[in-house]
């Protein structure tokens, strides 16, 4: 793996592991529970200049990453709720790259995004802890990919998503000696 690929995918690309295993499922749920506080601690002392530093050449800034996480996880939480309340609903995709270019992602404080993540993840964690194995098998349809995702798989993807973007910021912090 070359340096650019390592910077793009510091923990590797997402590969579905055994999402049927309750231990693996519990591990993913714990990531959802702990992520907002872990992220907050990582960036709490960042200056505006540090927040406006891209994690790699041609990549998003830390500020954009944090705002992307709030946007993405809000969408994901809603997708979970749709799958739990409707029969294989078709979700609404969004252009995350274009969202990251909007002013609320580019030049706004990250504090509202951190608050959003905290609230979303508290609710998401509570919901996840109440689901049965049968409920984790519920699905939604992604119209662009033409795939039905079950909630076990999607939870594993979002646990990876947390760790993936956390690693972007953590690696930048180490690289810059912050």
Return the pLDDT at 20.
67
> In Å, how far are 26, 87, 124, 126, 160 from 129, measured between CA atoms?
9, 21, 9, 5, 18
Per-residue pLDDT of the chain (178 residues; tens, 9 = 90+): 578 888 899 999 998 765 667 888 999 999 999 999 999 999 999 999 999 999 999 999 999 999 999 999 999 999 999 999 999 999 999 999 999 999 999 999 999 999 999 999 999 999 999 999 999 999 999 999 999 999 999 999 999 999 999 999 999 999 999 9
Return the pLDDT at 128.
98
In angstroms, the CA 77 to CA 72 distance is 9
Return the pLDDT at 19.
60
The C-alpha angle with vertex 20 and arms to 15 and 22, in degrees rounded to 5, equals: 115
> Which residues have C-beta within 8 Å of that of residue 126, sequence separation ≥ 6?
none
Structure confidence by residue, pLDDT tens digits, 96-132: 999 999 999 999 999 999 999 999 999 999 999 999 9
Return the pLDDT at 18.
57
């Amino acid at each position: 793996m070359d340096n650019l690929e390592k910077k793009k995918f510091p923990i590797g690309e997402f590969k579905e592991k055994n999402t049927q295993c309750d231990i693996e499922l519990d591990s993913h749920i714990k990531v959802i529970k702990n992520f907002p506080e872990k992220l907050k601690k990582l960036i709490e002392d960042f200056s505006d200049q540090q927040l406006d530093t891209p994690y790699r050449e041609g990549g998003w800034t830390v500020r954009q990453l944090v705002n992307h996480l709030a946007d993405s996880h809000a969408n994901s939480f809603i997708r979970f709720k749709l799958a739990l309340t409707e029969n294989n609903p078709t979700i609404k995709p969004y252009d995350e790259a274009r969202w990251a270019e909007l002013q609320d992602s580019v030049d706004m404080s990250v504090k509202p995004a951190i608050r959003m993540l905290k609230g979303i993840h508290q609710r998401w964690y509570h919901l996840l802890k109440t689901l049965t194995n049968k409920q984790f098998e519920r699905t939604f349809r992604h119209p662009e990919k033409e795939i039905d995702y079950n909630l076990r798989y999607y939870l594993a993807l979002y646990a990876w998503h947390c760790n993936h973007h956390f690693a972007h910021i953590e690696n930048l912090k180490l690289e810059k000696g912050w």
